Amino acid sequence: MAKPEKVEAVNELTERFNNATATVVTEYRGLSMGQLKELRRVLGESATYRVAKNTLVKIATKESGVEGLDDLFVGPTALTFIEGEPVDAAKALRDFSRDNKALVIKGGYMDGRPISVSEIERLADLDSREVTLGKLAGAMKAKLNEAAGLFAAPASQVARMTEALKEKKDTGSAES
């Protein structure tokens, strides 16, 4: 019979797998409690960093339908459950692992399939959603300004031509 604490832990992990848009598996061997606290702070509110026993994680992945990660659950394992956009969390993990070599990114799970470390790196290289939307808005504004200039061009050409004809008429009548 399973202990109630373990059943509760598996249920929590299963729920987190089900609610996460992405999950990153890491090894944290050698990180101090202070470093783990800093990592959790850097990840922000859209991600949860959870240390878990491999056997409980394997049970939770089976219960939640997550497949292809079992070979990552070796050694001290911690999971980053990401809710929302995964880019910022991927950046935070990548940058933290560069500064703290003890944090090793092993792989992850996103969009119903396992993802490799290189895919997590590529995800971290992307601009955040806000930056991408800002760039898109800037490009659209530039195109709108260009279109407004094109629409205004015929009217300004007519005005310049009218002014030129008026000046020609005035100079022609002044000569007579």
**CA pair distance 128, 157, nearest whole angstrom:** 44
* 24-60 residues labelled b (16+ CB within 10 A) or e (exposed): bbbbbeebeeebbeebeebbeeebbbbebeeebbbbb
Report the pLDDT value the prediction gives residue 1, as an integer from 0 to 100: 45
Instruction: Read off the pLDDT of residues 155-170 as tens digits, 9 standing for 90 and up.
Output: 777 778 788 888 877 7
The mean pLDDT value for 126-137 works out to 69
The mean pLDDT value for 44-56 works out to 92
Fold of 4-126: Alpha-Beta Plaits (3.30.70)
Answer yes or no: is pLDDT of 70 > 60. yes
Q: How is the chain split into domains, by residue range? A: 4-126, 133-176
Total-model pTM: 0.71
